[in-house]
Amino acid sequence: MGNGEFGHKGWGMGKGGGRRRHGRGWSEGPCAACPGRSLNDTAPGTTCRISRLLGCGPIRQRLMDLGLHPSREVTVIRSAPLRDPIELQVGDTFIILRRREAAQVEVEHV
């Protein structure tokens, strides 16, 4: 079965597989159309409320699994030494994610 098993693995876009360049996939598509204030633009030390999650599929699921649901409060703790990724706090959970993914989380200030 070759590397077929991996066809499902990870957080790719699923069946659209071969043709798209996934590395850039997130920033195109639905999110580009609705630029709001995202976690990517939030300075460390700021607490804000999640208004909605952009993107779809695995990334969305993973963010929700870690507690990033709409209406929950999230604090940006710090950036990595080279500015990317960033660290967040949601409830008692500390999460690290790249800015590319942080740009998918739309927030409003509280």
Partner 1 sequence: MSDRLVVALAGQQNAGKSTLFNMLTGLSQHIANYPGVTVDKKSGSYTHDGRRVEVVDLPGCYSLTVYSLEERVARRFLLEGRPDVIVNVLDASNLRRGLPLTFQLLEMGCPVVVALNMMDVAGQRGLQIDLPVLEKRLCVPVVPVVGRKGQGVETLRIAIAGARASRPATLNYGPLEEAVGEVQRAVAEQPALRDMSARWLAVKLLEDDSEAAKLLCDRLENPRPLLDLAHRLRRGFGPGSEAADQVGAARDRLAGDIVTTCVADTKAGQVPLSERIDRFLLNRWLAPVFLVATVWAIYQLSIVQGYELTKVTWPVLAGFRNLASEVLPDAGFLYDPQVRSLGLWMVDSANTLLNYVPIFLILFALIAVLEDSGYMARIAFILDRILNRFGLHGQSTLPFILAGVFAGGCAVPGVMATKGIPDHRARMATILTVPFMNCMAKIPLYTLLINIYFPETKGLMLFYLSTITVIAALLVAKLLTVSVLRNEETAPFVMELPNYHLPTITGVLRRAFDRTWLYIKKVGTVVVAIAVVIYVLLQFPGVPAERQADYRQQAETAIAGFYDALSGNPHLGAVASQGDLVDLVNAYSAYRAQRLNAGGRAAAQALDDRFAARHPDFVPFVLRSRAPEARAAAQALRDLVNTRTTLRREMREDRIESSLLGHVGRGLEPVTRFADFDWKINVALLASFAARESSVATLGVLFDQDDGENVPLEQRMGTAQNSQGYTALSAVALMLFFALYPPCLATVIMVRVQTESYMWMVFSIVFPTILGLGVASLTFTVGTWLGLSGMQTMTGVYFGALALLLLVALPKPRLHLSKAIPAEERP
Query: Which ranges of the chain would DSSP assign to H, the alpha helix?
Result: 22-25, 30-33, 58-65, 99-102
The reply on whether position 51 binds partner 1 by CB under 8 A is: no
Which listed residue (27, 29, 49, 73) binds partner 1 by CB under 8 A?
27
Q: Of 101, 46, 100, 53, whose CA–CA distance to 74 is shortest?
A: 46
Single residue of 50, 76, 101, 107 touching partner 1 by CB under 8 A: 101
CA atoms within 13 A on the CB side of 41: 10
Residues of this chain that interact with partner 1 (CB under 8 A) are 1-3, 5-13, 17-18, 21-24, 26-28, 31-32, 35, 38, 40-41, 56-67, 69-70, 72, 77-85, 87, 89, 91-98, 100-101, 103
